[in-house]
Chain A
Amino acid sequence: MIEFEDVTKRYPDGTVAVDTLSLRIPSNEITVFVGPSGCGKTTSLRMINRTIERTGGTISIDGEDINGKDAVTLRRGIGYVIQNAGLFPHRTVVDNVATVPKLLGWDKRKAHSTAMELLERVGLDPKLAGRYPAQLSGGQQQRVGVARALAADPAIMLMDEPFSAVDPIVRHQLQEELLRLQRDIGKTIVFVTHDIDEAIKLGDNVAVLQVGGKLAQFAPPAELLANPVDDFVRGFVGQDRGYRALTFVHPDDLPLKPLPEALAVQDGVPVGWRNGSATELLPIGSVFKRGDSLRAALDAVLTSPTGCGVCVDDDGRAIGVVDQATVAEVLRS
């Protein structure tokens, strides 16, 4: 657990970046700091590894004050990922990943083999190990950044807007992979973003900060959407928070209807909707899986040209449909 107690950062010119921030970041979960620019979220993050020194209050990790050991030792025990990855351009991918193990004095061969394992773990082709960062795409660089942060198996990983600079499709993939990775590794992750959607998607807990470094609300995302404490949080989580909250509704018993005649399937996989006598099929719209959120089911209904959202199994085969009336019924309940 990382504990902030009345933590303040005041710059010599009098600007207060973080103002008496107190919160407890639970272990083995993802905690997201979110807020508009100037809210002190990055400053708060960077005070944890002392790349920014606070001017008041205490920060402790598992009960130990972070000022108890020297900053360099502290940092080697905390993974760190930033926007654009910040990879060392003069080192190969595998050497970048092996950075911290080497700093810790590991045996060279062990550092190298650990780095290779991590590349695979973050979904990178081992063939890329000998490349230089400039030869990688933004998404690949960011994966290397995550691998580097995890190389020495730290208990804590700090992530400062790591996915902000990549395109939306790649960002979505990286987010999914972070969640998948986290299910395996269970690190204490502190994640900074200005994107409330990202915060809600990734966070087990979300700390909403407002300009001037004040904590507005600290809660799990479902709670944040359902009960924003004040106008600032209400405004920040957005107008469509009701719709977003459906992300956290998982109707296990959403009644499916049998596949209609109009749905064209190929080996069980839905390929489109028949449109009268026309030979061209209409697009299928988005599909959802059994056990997906109500948001996914509603989206499938809204994007389908027939008003019927298609539900598929894990292999992508159609197993049934829901119509508007069914979703509306679940929404009412």
Chain B
Amino acid sequence: MSWIADNVALIWEQLREHLYLAIIPVILGLIISVPLGYVATRYSWLANPLIALGGVLYSLPSIALFIVIPAVLGTKVLSTVNIIVALTIYTVALLIRNVIDGLRSVPADVRQSAVAVGYGALHRVIAIDLPIAVPVIFTGLRVVTVANISMVSVGAVIGIGGLGELFTLGFQKDFLTPVVVGVVLSLLLALVADVILVALQRLLTPWARVAAPVGEVA
């Protein structure tokens, strides 16, 4: 216990770094996946190769990626950019499928009437397609956010890992408290992030929770 009291500043710092390293890739990944997913629904032959590519990228071991990226990008081994780039790749790899599925979930008659009432192509995607795709996109967003929060810790192996660094600290000193603190805090972080995403989704999609009509009345 006294270790925790003595190291509040360190723990707080690692927690902040952990959050930063996990969330920035989610935001970047979303910004990349949405236009990419839209292009894939526009040119449908692109969709399956993209989803397949996503699967392959996601199966790359994270440690390998953390090590290869500095070599490819020319960044310093200890740069946070490496982690952010790697996790952004995972985010896009996972999210692309949900964005494509989400955009495909827009019923054909809804899309047809959006065109017919006079929405231009881009306006339609923003005002009609994306809002309707939100529930499917959020399913992916929740998975990827939790996955990122757990994966940041792996970065500790190369020296930048948020709460993961508490693990290395604990192992090096053969001292369990930092490890427990790291585990508990990353679990809490994942839980809180998920709760926030669920709340955000509910806020964005009040229409998805309404009850069907009772009986057929004209």
Contact = CB atoms under 8 A, between A and B. Distances in A.
Interface residues of A, number: 41
A322 interface: no
The winner among B107, B117, B208 for most chain A CB atoms within 10 A is B117
B112 A51 contact: yes
Interface stretch (B89-97, B153-161, B183-191, B210-218): B210-218
A37 interface: no
A135 B217 contact: no
Interface in B163-193: none
Contact of A90 (B116, B132, B211): B132
B113 interface: yes
Nearest to B108: A86
Interface in B192-212: 205-208, 210-212
A196 to B, nearest CB: 23
A188 interface: no
Interface size class of B (residues with CB under 8 A): 20 to 34
B120 interface: yes
B118 A100 contact: yes
B110 interface: yes
B109 interface: yes
B117 A82 contact: no
B217 A80 contact: no
B128 interface: yes
B119 interface: yes
A131 B207 CA distance: 9
Contacts of B208: 90
A69 to B, nearest CB: 12
B205 A137 contact: no
Contact of A80 (B110, B113, B205, B215): B113
B131 interface: yes
Given A82-B113, A88-B110, A103-B118, A135 B212 contact: yes
A84 B111 CA distance: 12
Contacts of B213: 134-137, 140
Given A137-B213, A138-B216, A167-B216, A75 B207 contact: no
B115 interface: yes
Interface string B79-108: 000000000000000000000000000010
Given A89-B207, A91-B207, A173 B218 contact: yes
A170 B210 CA distance: 24
B45 to A, nearest CB: 16
A49 interface: yes
A207 B146 CA distance: 60
A311 interface: no
Contacts of B125: none
Given A103-B119, A132-B207, A86 B110 contact: yes
B204 to A, nearest CB: 9
The winner among B113, B114, B119, B132 for most chain A CB atoms within 10 A is B113
19 contacts: A49-B116, A51-B115, A76-B117, A76-B118, A80-B113, A85-B113, A86-B110, A87-B113, A88-B110, A90-B205, A92-B207, A134-B212, A137-B215, A137-B218, A138-B216, A139-B217, A140-B217, A170-B216, A170-B218
Interface of A: 46, 49, 51, 72-73, 75-76, 78, 80, 82-92, 99-100, 103, 131-132, 134-140, 145, 148, 158, 166-167, 169-170, 173-174
- For the complex of A and B, the 10 pairs showing the least CB-CB separation, nearest first, are A86-B113, A76-B118, A139-B218, A86-B109, A80-B116, A75-B118, A132-B207, A170-B218, A90-B131, A90-B207
